[in-house]
Structure 1
């Protein structure tokens, strides 16, 4: 009897189901509120998400080529689980490019790291547009109800205004990916390329002598804690990898900055307390009232770099609009070649010259 040999399927580098379980278990529960208040919160967020769509359409002047995103109101644990699904989708198949020379123990360790980080972040995210659904689809808009409640309460801003303001930002993200249906694949491809290279260099580090490992990790940690604007991962990157990461970061800066500008552009006729919300939210972003440990943690997780993305991207969007108007800015969504480079985010005039001549 003939026997057919087959190559066993390559196992993922991270045990994603385990990461989801760990993230959900470690996610802090959030503020306690009466059942009626929580019911009103969920309904209010859904209503705000629906209301935001037409305002985003009007203020952005973008023409989406795909269906609008599905709105899902979640708790912190559900947000963390959803993000393990997105991360798994983004790197699906990468093991076939760079097979891990590691076993189940490393898969579990990776799950623990991913789960712990997502659990920490789960208490800080108000909303997120997720374009990477398992099996594909137009994406989903996740609104993290306990975080919205905690933020609006701590800042003392009108709940109805704040919820609409948050949804304007997140629906703008949904609009970006709908108007540029190539964007999700573009970001996924660039990210996979970078992760592939990081996997190779990480494998080299894993095989290195212990003294080199200590030196590399120690330098990365010190750089992240000093006033240099670096994150922990920067210490492990080669110059080419830093360039690749800078280009990905430039796209993220565009997406976040554009959403920040558009959410405020609707003005007080739509969100009456928008200026008060923005001022108090910026103080919250800057870490006002947070303990020293939380400030250090933000730097290690790259959250300060994320804040810089919002501000650099918003400055780029405003400068381009001053030069060529909102319709001129919208050329950025036409094709991937029109995306700004890392240098152009800091020099909007260079982008205008390149794209508009």
Structure 2
């Protein structure tokens, strides 16, 4: 049943997940994006994401919402990992080390309730890391970002989604671009536009956070995160289906530089080698400069951050193209949590669209 057409701006993980969910509920979907799966750009963050699960405490209303979205996503990814291995999702043991135990309250927000959670013994800490004050483990998921995004696109196309590659300067342009792409007299006007554009449009609360990461061939069968006292972190994230291992990284808010830092690369390789010496190749010659790592790629990406966190709301916007009010649903600014909350956000978007449609139908019945 045709529930109406929805235009989605952006083909990152939030936009694509929302597209699939809306299609499953009977909506027609057109995705308009500057980049599509298979493209690579410093500002197309989703293909670069390490994409792994780690819990977070929930003290504020925004954090509690995010945790609820995380739980919905966790459950959906469990199904995908079991039923669709080609999607590139896998569940593995996850380990976190904290140099300051006060940074994590285990009782806040149900942190201890995630599957497989336990506190590590000091004997399980990496040798030589006397700074670690707390270690925990639980069952977490990892996914191969480029493979998973392509799978989402294929799911959307299978259900009839249309993809248009275009760069928009304002959400207002979405309807005009959609109309121009359709055969004359065939286009059905949208009932809503979803803004899943990463940093939004002219949102002064949004900003980029530069991250430098490395993909290596060296294997690891678990995720490892080390949270240092100075606020920096070291992560090790295996990518399923032969994607290698993502290691890193840096967090540099408001930094627009595209230049790779050799110093950062050196520091990341050293930190990861110390954190997980079992990954280091000590037998192959010629790896001295890379500390025993087979480096496949060093890359820079910009996370779509937003002061105040994710923007997830519906507003009524005046659409010049339609000369009428059109619902605009914002879902952007997820920062590093995009994959963790993606299916929860998709469910929320579907709910917001369904409310619009109910109102529309009731008006027509009157």
Structure with bigger strand share is 2
TM-score by length of 2: 0.23
Structure with bigger helix share is 1
